Amino acid sequence: MAAAEWRDPALDDPDLHAGHHEYRRGGALAYLAAYDVHHARVLARCEPTTGIVPFMNLVTQVMTSEPYASAKRVLWIVDNGSSHRGKAAIDRLAKAFPNAVMVHTPVHASWTNQIEIFFSILQRKVAAPATWSTPAGLRAVTT
pLDDT in tens, 19-58: 555 655 556 678 888 989 899 898 999 888 889 999 999 9
Query: Could you give phi then psi for residue 47, rounded to 5 degrees?
Result: -135, 155
User: Given this model, what pLDDT does residue 1 score?
Assistant: 46
